[in-house]
Protein backbone atom coordinates (compact mmCIF):
# COMPACT_ATOMS: atom_id res chain seq x y z
CA UNK A 1 0.00 0.00 0.00
CA UNK A 2 1.37 3.37 -1.03
CA UNK A 3 -0.17 6.41 0.67
CA UNK A 4 0.34 10.12 0.12
CA UNK A 5 -0.20 12.02 3.35
CA UNK A 6 -1.23 15.67 3.11
CA UNK A 7 -1.05 18.11 6.01
CA UNK A 8 -3.09 20.95 4.46
CA UNK A 9 -2.11 24.58 4.70
CA UNK A 10 -1.82 27.62 2.47
CA UNK A 11 1.64 28.81 3.51
CA UNK A 12 3.09 25.31 4.02
CA UNK A 13 1.29 22.19 2.83
CA UNK A 14 3.15 19.14 4.07
CA UNK A 15 3.31 16.08 1.81
CA UNK A 16 4.87 12.67 2.38
CA UNK A 17 4.69 9.25 0.74
CA UNK A 18 4.93 6.03 2.76
CA UNK A 19 4.76 2.48 1.46
CA UNK A 20 4.09 -0.75 3.34
CA UNK A 21 1.45 -2.81 5.10
CA UNK A 22 0.23 -2.99 8.67
CA UNK A 23 2.38 -5.13 10.92
CA UNK A 24 5.55 -4.80 8.82
CA UNK A 25 8.31 -2.17 8.57
CA UNK A 26 7.32 0.89 6.56
CA UNK A 27 9.37 2.78 3.98
CA UNK A 28 9.42 6.49 3.27
CA UNK A 29 9.55 7.24 -0.43
CA UNK A 30 9.50 11.02 -0.26
CA UNK A 31 8.69 13.99 1.96
CA UNK A 32 8.48 17.72 1.41
CA UNK A 33 6.41 20.89 1.62
CA UNK A 34 4.40 22.80 -0.97
CA UNK A 35 4.90 26.50 -0.22
CA UNK A 36 2.96 29.56 -1.35
CA UNK A 37 3.77 33.25 -0.71
CA UNK A 38 1.62 34.78 2.00
CA UNK A 39 1.24 38.07 0.09
CA UNK A 40 -0.17 36.43 -3.06
CA UNK A 41 -3.83 36.37 -3.99
CA UNK A 42 -5.89 33.52 -2.56
CA UNK A 43 -6.70 32.11 -5.97
CA UNK A 44 -3.06 32.08 -6.99
CA UNK A 45 -2.07 30.34 -3.76
CA UNK A 46 -4.66 27.62 -4.29
CA UNK A 47 -3.43 27.09 -7.83
CA UNK A 48 0.12 26.73 -6.49
CA UNK A 49 -1.05 24.13 -3.96
CA UNK A 50 -2.86 22.23 -6.70
CA UNK A 51 0.19 22.17 -8.95
CA UNK A 52 2.42 21.01 -6.12
CA UNK A 53 0.12 18.12 -5.16
CA UNK A 54 -0.36 17.15 -8.80
CA UNK A 55 3.42 16.91 -9.17
CA UNK A 56 3.63 14.54 -6.19
CA UNK A 57 0.80 12.42 -7.59
CA UNK A 58 2.56 12.22 -10.95
CA UNK A 59 5.89 11.22 -9.43
CA UNK A 60 4.79 8.61 -6.86
CA UNK A 61 1.36 7.42 -8.12
CA UNK A 62 -0.05 6.58 -4.66
CA UNK A 63 -2.98 4.23 -4.23
CA UNK A 64 -4.49 6.29 -1.41
CA UNK A 65 -4.43 9.89 -0.21
CA UNK A 66 -4.74 10.63 3.51
CA UNK A 67 -5.68 14.21 4.44
CA UNK A 68 -5.93 15.72 7.89
CA UNK A 69 -9.54 16.46 8.80
CA UNK A 70 -10.09 20.15 9.48
CA UNK A 71 -11.39 20.96 12.94
CA UNK A 72 -12.57 24.20 14.56
CA UNK A 73 -10.02 26.61 15.97
CA UNK A 74 -10.18 30.06 17.54
CA UNK A 75 -8.50 31.60 14.49
CA UNK A 76 -11.20 31.49 11.82
CA UNK A 77 -8.84 32.79 9.13
CA UNK A 78 -6.44 29.89 9.72
CA UNK A 79 -9.30 27.38 9.61
CA UNK A 80 -10.55 28.74 6.29
CA UNK A 81 -7.11 28.54 4.68
CA UNK A 82 -6.59 25.00 5.96
CA UNK A 83 -10.02 23.91 4.72
CA UNK A 84 -9.38 25.39 1.28
CA UNK A 85 -6.03 23.62 0.94
CA UNK A 86 -7.64 20.39 2.15
CA UNK A 87 -10.34 20.71 -0.53
CA UNK A 88 -7.68 21.19 -3.21
CA UNK A 89 -5.90 18.00 -2.11
CA UNK A 90 -9.14 16.00 -2.19
CA UNK A 91 -10.01 17.45 -5.59
CA UNK A 92 -6.65 16.41 -7.06
CA UNK A 93 -7.10 12.86 -5.76
CA UNK A 94 -10.74 12.54 -6.82
CA UNK A 95 -9.90 13.75 -10.32
CA UNK A 96 -7.61 10.73 -10.70
CA UNK A 97 -10.00 8.31 -8.99
CA UNK A 98 -7.72 7.86 -5.94
CA UNK A 99 -9.56 7.05 -2.69
CA UNK A 100 -9.31 9.79 -0.05
CA UNK A 101 -9.36 9.21 3.72
CA UNK A 102 -9.72 11.90 6.38
CA UNK A 103 -8.11 11.48 9.78
CA UNK A 104 -8.39 13.81 12.75
CA UNK A 105 -5.23 15.06 14.48
CA UNK A 106 -6.11 13.01 17.57
CA UNK A 107 -6.41 9.83 15.51
CA UNK A 108 -3.03 10.42 13.92
CA UNK A 109 -1.33 11.18 17.24
CA UNK A 110 -2.84 8.12 18.91
CA UNK A 111 -1.88 5.84 16.01
CA UNK A 112 1.72 7.02 15.82
CA UNK A 113 2.60 7.82 19.44
CA UNK A 114 -0.09 6.03 21.46
CA UNK A 115 -1.40 9.30 22.88
CA UNK A 116 -3.98 11.59 21.32
CA UNK A 117 -2.34 14.59 23.04
CA UNK A 118 1.20 14.17 21.76
CA UNK A 119 3.05 17.32 20.69
CA UNK A 120 4.97 18.06 17.51
CA UNK A 121 8.30 16.87 18.94
CA UNK A 122 6.86 13.49 19.96
CA UNK A 123 5.28 12.99 16.53
CA UNK A 124 8.57 13.83 14.79
CA UNK A 125 10.51 11.45 17.04
CA UNK A 126 8.12 8.54 16.43
CA UNK A 127 8.01 9.14 12.69
CA UNK A 128 11.81 9.09 12.64
CA UNK A 129 11.84 5.82 14.55
CA UNK A 130 9.09 4.09 12.59
CA UNK A 131 10.56 5.00 9.21
CA UNK A 132 14.16 4.46 10.34
CA UNK A 133 15.26 7.97 9.39
CA UNK A 134 18.48 9.68 10.41
CA UNK A 135 16.70 12.80 11.72
CA UNK A 136 13.14 14.10 12.13
CA UNK A 137 11.75 15.63 8.93
CA UNK A 138 11.69 19.44 8.84
CA UNK A 139 9.51 21.43 9.05
CA UNK A 140 6.89 19.90 11.32
CA UNK A 141 4.33 19.96 8.49
CA UNK A 142 6.41 17.37 6.63
CA UNK A 143 6.54 15.09 9.67
CA UNK A 144 2.77 15.46 10.13
CA UNK A 145 2.22 14.41 6.51
CA UNK A 146 4.25 11.24 7.06
CA UNK A 147 2.32 10.57 10.27
CA UNK A 148 -0.93 10.82 8.31
CA UNK A 149 0.29 8.24 5.80
CA UNK A 150 1.43 5.90 8.60
CA UNK A 151 -1.90 6.29 10.39
CA UNK A 152 -3.85 5.35 7.28
CA UNK A 153 -1.72 2.28 6.54
CA UNK A 154 -2.29 0.99 10.06
CA UNK A 155 -6.00 1.86 10.28
CA UNK A 156 -7.13 0.99 6.74
CA UNK A 157 -7.47 -2.82 7.25
CA UNK A 158 -9.69 -2.39 10.31
CA UNK A 159 -11.77 0.28 8.58
CA UNK A 160 -12.25 -1.91 5.52
CA UNK A 161 -13.42 -4.86 7.63
CA UNK A 162 -15.83 -2.61 9.51
CA UNK A 163 -17.27 -1.20 6.30
CA UNK A 164 -17.71 -4.70 4.86
CA UNK A 165 -19.47 -5.88 8.03
CA UNK A 166 -21.83 -2.88 7.97
CA UNK A 167 -22.60 -3.44 4.30
CA UNK A 168 -23.29 -7.15 4.87
CA UNK A 169 -25.56 -6.37 7.83
CA UNK A 170 -27.58 -3.87 5.83
CA UNK A 171 -27.96 -6.32 2.95
CA UNK A 172 -29.08 -9.25 5.13
CA UNK A 173 -31.44 -7.14 7.23
CA UNK A 174 -33.22 -5.35 4.38
CA UNK A 175 -36.97 -6.04 3.92
CA UNK A 176 -37.63 -8.85 1.50
CA UNK A 177 -34.05 -10.06 1.52
CA UNK A 178 -33.47 -13.82 1.30
CA UNK A 179 -33.43 -15.40 4.71
CA UNK A 180 -35.64 -12.78 6.31
CA UNK A 181 -38.15 -14.19 8.80
CA UNK A 182 -40.79 -12.99 11.21
CA UNK A 183 -39.67 -12.71 14.80
CA UNK A 184 -41.48 -15.19 17.07
CA UNK A 185 -44.23 -13.43 18.98
CA UNK A 186 -44.38 -10.48 16.59
CA UNK A 187 -47.93 -9.24 15.85
CA UNK A 188 -49.49 -10.30 12.63
CA UNK A 189 -50.37 -7.84 9.90
CA UNK A 190 -53.68 -6.08 10.66
CA UNK A 191 -56.55 -7.16 8.47
CA UNK A 192 -55.17 -10.62 7.78
CA UNK A 193 -57.29 -13.42 9.32
CA UNK A 194 -56.35 -16.97 9.95
CA UNK A 195 -57.77 -19.68 7.67
CA UNK A 196 -60.21 -21.89 9.64
CA UNK A 197 -59.27 -25.51 9.97
CA UNK A 198 -61.50 -28.00 8.17
CA UNK A 199 -60.59 -31.13 10.05
CA UNK A 200 -59.29 -32.25 13.36
CA UNK A 201 -60.37 -31.57 16.91
CA UNK A 202 -62.03 -28.20 17.43
CA UNK A 203 -62.81 -27.62 13.74
CA UNK A 204 -66.23 -26.04 13.00
CA UNK A 205 -67.60 -29.09 11.20
CA UNK A 206 -66.77 -31.62 13.91
CA UNK A 207 -67.34 -29.80 17.21
CA UNK A 208 -70.52 -31.07 18.94
CA UNK A 209 -73.10 -28.33 19.26
CA UNK A 210 -71.23 -25.93 17.03
CA UNK A 211 -73.09 -22.79 16.12
CA UNK A 212 -74.98 -23.00 12.86
CA UNK A 213 -75.19 -26.82 12.76
CA UNK A 214 -78.89 -27.94 12.73
CA UNK A 215 -79.89 -30.72 15.14
CA UNK A 216 -81.82 -33.69 13.79
CA UNK A 217 -84.72 -35.56 15.41
CA UNK A 218 -86.49 -38.75 14.68
CA UNK A 219 -85.45 -41.77 12.74
CA UNK A 220 -85.52 -39.98 9.44
CA UNK A 221 -83.03 -37.41 10.62
CA UNK A 222 -85.09 -34.55 9.10
CA UNK A 223 -84.46 -31.18 10.69
CA UNK A 224 -87.21 -29.71 12.90
CA UNK A 225 -88.39 -26.24 11.97
CA UNK A 226 -88.17 -23.83 14.91
CA UNK A 227 -91.66 -22.99 16.30
CA UNK A 228 -93.37 -26.17 15.05
CA UNK A 229 -95.24 -28.09 17.88
CA UNK A 230 -93.76 -31.42 18.74
CA UNK A 231 -96.14 -34.34 17.73
CA UNK A 232 -97.82 -36.24 20.61
CA UNK A 233 -96.95 -39.83 21.11
CA UNK A 234 -99.41 -42.55 22.21
CA UNK A 235 -102.99 -43.50 21.48
CA UNK A 236 -105.43 -41.06 19.89
CA UNK A 237 -108.90 -40.42 21.31
User: What positions carry a catalytic annotation?
Assistant: 7, 68, 141
Q: Output the DSSP codes for 56-87.
A: HHHHH--SEEEEEPP---S-HHHHHHHHHHHH
What does the alpha-carbon distance between residue 152 and residue 67 come to, in Å, rounded to a whole number?
Answer: 9
What is the spatial order of strands in the sheet that 64-68 belongs to?
Answer: 27-35, 12-19, 2-7, 64-68, 100-103
Element (H, E) at 5: strand 2-7
173, 177, 182, 187 alpha-carbon torsion, rounded to 10°: 90
CA 63 to chain centre: 20
Task: From 73, 76, 36, select the one nearest 53 (Cα to Cα).
Answer: 36
Q: What angle is formed at CA 114 by the lines to CA 112 and CA 115, rounded to 5 degrees?
A: 110
Among positive and negative, which fits the CA dihedral 3, 48, 88, 104?
positive
What percent of the residues of the chain are helix, what percent strand, and what percent coil, each to the nearest 5? 40, 15, 45
Residue 27, beta-bridge partner list: 19
User: Residue 149 is inside which H or E element, if any?
Assistant: helix 140-172
Amino acid sequence: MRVLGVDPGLTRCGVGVVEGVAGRPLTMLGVGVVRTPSDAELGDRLVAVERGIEAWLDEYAPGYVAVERVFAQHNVRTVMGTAQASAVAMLCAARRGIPVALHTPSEVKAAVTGSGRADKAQIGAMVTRLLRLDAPPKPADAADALALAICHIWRAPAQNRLQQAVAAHRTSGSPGAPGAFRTPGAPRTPGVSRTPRTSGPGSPDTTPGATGTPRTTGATGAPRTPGTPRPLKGRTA
